[in-house]
Amino acid sequence: EAKAQGRNNYRFFTERMTAEVRQRLLMENRLRGALARQELHLMLQPKFWVADRRLSGFEALLRWTDCDGVATSPAEFIPVAEESGLIIEIGSWVLRQACQLAAAWPAPASGPALTMAVNVSPRQLAQPGFAELVASILRDTGLAAAQLEIEVTESALLERTGNVKAALDGLKALGVRLAVDDFGTGYSSLAYLKDFAPDTVKIDRCFVTDLQNRHDNAAIVLAIITLAKSLKMEALAEGVETEEELAALAQLGCEAVQGYLTGRPLALDSAAGLVAATARP
Ligand code: C2E
Ligand code: MG
Ligand code: MG
Ligand code: MG
């Protein structure tokens, strides 16, 4: 009886596995086609300085809408792209496209240059010659290195060996900015924060939610901001959705924000309009 049950469990398990594998392969093939048919595009979510509410730049977010108008979330297809290796091709397209867009921005009427943040997956970072790829894209597009910010999650930093270390050192040498994304949700280690020395710490949305009412979130956000300040890093809060959260963040000394309150991810023409408005004196 127990044995039969075990066999059944096993069969159930393998059937489910097969279905999952099939799903992945299907998605991988669709993604390959999407790349060929140029169904991928970027949206740009604005980031703002808290002190003067001025635009600080944008984050490039990948979108996939197929010919039937069906949109797939990056949270769904990025992992498939990573596992299949397609992320290498997709990721360099994103970088090139984002740098091209940012290179065309007029300078703001006052204040620092706008930055373009680009998400980079662990697999891309570990690809030999990643920093050289970034260098050639900057050369080709004419974007200033200091206007590009590479966002990396904590998990990508876990294996800081060989290629990853070379990539991070290479990016630093170019003068490209580094950001740690979704800070506090991964295998955070203060040792890697010290080593990696990012320019920006992006406080994950889960700590920002209902900040004004939640003592636990407020305590964590204050700790991250304090740490960032003393290490001379910029603290940016992600996923700010309400005025109450923004006010609480301002009070805690958070420098920059990004979220639905201040701006949803925008189509390229809307983003260009926002940039043009900041360029006028
Ligand atoms: P992320 O880098 O942490 O990006 C922030 C995500 O939060 C985006 O989701 C954005 O649309 C969403 N968001 C922004 N403000 C708010 C808010 O106020 N409330 C809520 N609920 N959500 C907000 P999206 O665009 O679906 O991207 C999900 C993730 O996919 C990104 O998280 C990033 O890890 C990954 N991703 C997106 N584009 C790329 C890419 O070009 N390359 C790589 N490797 N990963 C990417
Ligand atoms: Mg990001
Ligand atoms: Mg994030
Ligand atoms: Mg996230």
Question: Is the distance from CB of 240 to CB of 261 less than 8 angstroms?
Answer: yes
Closest ligand by atom to 236 CA: 3
- pLDDT, residue 243, reads 98
Q: Give the mean pLDDT of 76-93.
A: 94
Other C-beta atoms within 10 Å of 277: how many? 11
pLDDT classification of 9: cutoffs 50, 70, 90: low
- pLDDT, residue 39, reads 93
Reference 280, options 55, 49, 102; nearest CA is 55
Ligand 1: residue of 45, 61, 90 to mutate (most ligand atoms within 8 A of CB) is 61
pLDDT in tens, 210-252: 999 999 999 999 999 999 999 999 999 999 999 999 999 999 9
The percent of residues above 70 in pLDDT, for the chain, comes to 94
pLDDT above 90 (res 99): yes
Scan for tokens 């570990």, then name that residue.
126
- pLDDT, residue 6, reads 60
pLDDT above 80 (res 65): yes
Separation of CA 204 and ligand 2 centre (Å): 10
Give this prediction's pTM: 0.93
- pLDDT, residue 132, reads 98
Separation of CA 182 and ligand 4 centre (Å): 5
pLDDT in tens, 150-203: 999 988 777 767 889 999 999 999 999 999 999 988 876 787 788 889 999 999
pLDDT above 90 (res 281): no
pLDDT above 60 (res 3): no
Atom of ligand 1 nearest to the CA of 120: 44
251-273 burial string, b = 16+ CB within 10 Å, else e? ebebbbbbbebbbebbeeeebbe
Ligand 1: residue of 87, 119, 130, 153 to mutate (most ligand atoms within 8 A of CB) is 119
List, in order, residues 6 or more apart from 38 with CB less than 8 Å away. none
Q: Residue 199: exposed, middle, or buried by beta-carbon count in 10 A (0-12, 13-18, 19+)? A: middle
How far, CA to CA in Å, does 97 sit from each of 42, 91, 94, 254?
A: 8, 10, 5, 30
- pLDDT, residue 1, reads 52
- Beta strands (DSSP E) in 146-250 are 148-153, 177-183, 200-203, 234-237
Other C-beta atoms within 10 Å of 129: how many? 13
Closest ligand by atom to 93 CA: 1
202-232 burial string, b = 16+ CB within 10 Å, else e? bbbbebbeebeeeeebbebbbebbeebeeee
Separation of CA 19 and ligand 3 centre (Å): 30
Atom of ligand 1 nearest to the CA of 87: 44
* Mean of pLDDT over the chain: 92
- pLDDT, residue 194, reads 85
pLDDT above 60 (res 2): no
Separation of CA 181 and ligand 2 centre (Å): 5
- pLDDT, residue 275, reads 97
Query: Three-state DSSP class for 231?
Result: coil
Pocket of ligand 1 (CB under 6 A): 45, 61-62, 73-75, 78, 91, 94, 119-121, 151, 181-182, 205, 238-241, 259-260, 265
Determine the Cα–Cα distance for residues 258 and 60; give it in Å rounded to an integer: 12
Determine the Cα–Cα distance for residues 108 and 102; give it in Å rounded to an integer: 12
Q: Give the mean pLDDT of 66-70.
A: 87
Question: Is the distance from CB of 211 to CB of 247 less than 8 angstroms?
Answer: no
Reference 258, options 57, 61, 113, 46; nearest CA is 46
Separation of CA 61 and ligand 1 centre (Å): 6
Determine the Cα–Cα distance for residues 185 and 23; give it in Å rounded to an integer: 27
- pLDDT, residue 162, reads 83
Instruction: Tell me which residue has its CA closest to atom 27 in ligand 1.
Output: 74
Query: Three-state DSSP class for 280?
Result: coil
Instruction: Tell me which residue has its CA closest to atom 33 in ligand 1.
Output: 119
Phi, psi of 205 (to 5 degrees): -55, -35
The percent of residues above 90 in pLDDT, for the chain, comes to 76
